[in-house]
Amino acid sequence: GIYTVTFPYFLELLPSRLRGRAAVYLSVGWPIGVLLAVGVTQLLGGLGWHVVAVASGLAGAWVFAIRAWVPESPYWLAERGRHAEAAAVLRKLGADVPEGTVFASSAEGKERAGQPLDLFRGRLLRVTVLMLVVNFAFNWGYWGLQTWLPTLLQDKGLSMSASLGFVALSAVFMIPGYVSASLLTGRYGRKKVFLPYVGLAAVSGVAFAYADTLTSMYVANFALSFFCLGAWGVWNTWNGEFYPTALRATGYSWATAAQLGATSLAPSVVGYLLARATGHSSTILFIMAFLTVALLCAAPLPETEGKDLE
């Protein structure tokens, strides 16, 4: 639920010229959180899982900082006719807004805000279908591999502790992936960064499947982490820019549902394939095929770099 709201909310607080770069940086919280979670588990694990769970739960206290310092979305305020409050937020964010400004908003948008069926009407139908397929296929390609990565690595001869260290190092390589994507999306747009990054992630996955030495396996998986998570950062931004304010969070909630559907199914299907002794390389190639589907379905989506949110 938090994930669904976070990106649309953040996008609505940013000017168009900074939106792509800044929103990709928001995604960097994922690998940082993974590394902190691994660190807390290693540090406090000896005290019992209850202590680890409580320490993890304390991270939720950050919501009080957001409540105190982050303003409400000016788009949402304007949509509801609260023009003075919207202007005050924009001034707080550095914009020059004269007193008495009335923002253009849609009465129908306010009335129909959050209606899921509106995602499948008119010009939004094609965008929504493609968006859902991309979210499902992309998440399948990522989580189908990551969930079983320790097991796949042990099949390659690594111990469990070495496998977990490998996963932690992969998280480190996600960060420069996000940073590079952030710098590039502001210059070249969403599509010209997302499509090559997904393609290179798939190529890296194939290289990982056929790696015959420890060094080549490390290089291929770190390249996969770099490009896959860089692409995720761009997608988190792009995905929230397809819809008008009245439907932005609704569209994002459906996107999240598609991701979670893949997250639920992929580990079971991949586990079944591994249990049936399908083979390490064949299983990874099957997973990477979903990244190819994500790439093909993202290609027709509209470019949104530099455009104002509706």
In this model, does residue 309 exceed pLDDT 90?
A: no
Mean pLDDT of 160-180: 76
In this model, does residue 106 exceed pLDDT 70?
A: no
Positive or negative CA dihedral for 158, 287, 191, 30?
negative
Residue 6 lies in a domain: no
Residue 3 lies in a domain: no
In this structure, are 126 and 231 located in the same domain?
A: yes
In this model, does residue 175 exceed pLDDT 90?
A: no
- pLDDT for position 162: 65
Mean pLDDT of 215-243: 87
In this structure, are 90 and 210 located in the same domain?
A: no
- pLDDT for position 8: 87
Name the range with the highest mean pLDDT among 3-12, 75-84, 125-134, 181-190.
Answer: 125-134
Domain of 96?
71-105
In this structure, are 195 and 96 located in the same domain?
A: no
Helix segments in the chain, DSSP class H? 2-11, 16-26, 29-44, 49-57, 63-69, 74-79, 83-92, 107-111, 124-146, 149-155, 160-188, 191-209, 214-239, 245-275, 280-298
Residue 59 lies in a domain: no
φ, ψ of residue 48 to 5 degrees: the values are: 110, 155
Other CB atoms closer than 10 Å to residue 301's CB: what's the count? 20
In this structure, are 150 and 286 located in the same domain?
A: yes
- pLDDT for position 187: 86
Residue 26 lies in a domain: no
More confident residue, 34 or 61: 61
In this structure, are 144 and 180 located in the same domain?
A: yes
**What's the structural domain count of the chain?**
2
In this model, does residue 231 exceed pLDDT 70?
A: yes
Burial class (CB in 10 A: 0-12, 13-18, 19+), 121: exposed
In this structure, are 81 and 151 located in the same domain?
A: no
CATH at 229: 1.20.1250.20
- pLDDT for position 164: 65
Average pLDDT of the chain is 84
Residue 306 lies in a domain: no
In this structure, are 285 and 174 located in the same domain?
A: yes
- pLDDT for position 69: 92
Q: Model confidence at 293, in pLDDT bands (50, 70, 90)?
A: very high
Residue 179 lies in a domain: yes
In this model, does residue 111 exceed pLDDT 70?
A: no
In this model, does residue 241 exceed pLDDT 80?
A: yes
In this structure, are 99 and 172 located in the same domain?
A: no
In this structure, are 174 and 209 located in the same domain?
A: yes
| Model confidence, pTM | 0.82
To which residue do tokens 């992630």 refer?
201
Q: Model confidence at 227, in pLDDT bands (50, 70, 90)?
A: very high
In this model, does residue 64 exceed pLDDT 90?
A: yes
- Rounded percentage of the chain residues whose pLDDT exceeds 70: 90
In this structure, are 99 and 248 located in the same domain?
A: no
In this structure, are 293 and 145 located in the same domain?
A: yes
- Rounded percentage of the chain residues whose pLDDT exceeds 90: 22
In this model, does residue 254 exceed pLDDT 80?
A: yes
Mean pLDDT of 79-91: 90
- pLDDT for position 129: 95
Angle at 290 between CA 306 and CA 133, to 5 degrees: 55
In this structure, are 81 and 186 located in the same domain?
A: no
- pLDDT for position 107: 54
Q: Model confidence at 199, in pLDDT bands (50, 70, 90)?
A: very high
Q: Model confidence at 298, in pLDDT bands (50, 70, 90)?
A: very high
Residue 10 lies in a domain: no
More confident residue, 142 or 203: 203
Residue 81 lies in a domain: yes
Contact in structure between 204 and 256 (CB atoms under 8 Å)? no
